[in-house]
Amino acid sequence: MQQVKHLLAAKGSAVYAVAPDAAVYEALEQMAEKNVGALAVIRGDQLVGIISERDYARKVILKDRTSRDTPVAEIMTDSVVTIAPDATVDECMRLCTDNRLRHLPVLDGGRVVGIVSIGDLVKATISEQKETISQLESYIVG
Q: Please count the CA atoms within 13 angstroms of the CA of 125 that sit on its side-chain side.
A: 13
Q: Please count the CA atoms within 13 angstroms of the CA of 101 that sit on its side-chain side.
A: 25
- Mean pLDDT over 113-140 rounds to 88
Q: Are 104 and 118 in contact (CB under 8 A)?
A: no
Class of domain 4-141: alpha beta
pLDDT band at 40 (very low <50, low <70, confident <90, very high): very high
pLDDT, the chain, mean: 93
Question: DSSP letters of 12-41?
Answer: -----EE-TTSBHHHHHHHHHHHT-SEEEE
Is residue 12 scored above 90 in pLDDT?
no
- Mean pLDDT over 60-73 rounds to 92
DSSP state of 57: I
**Cβ partners under 8 Å of residue 74, min gap 6:** 59
Predicted TM-score (pTM) of the model is 0.86
- Mean pLDDT over 85-112 rounds to 95
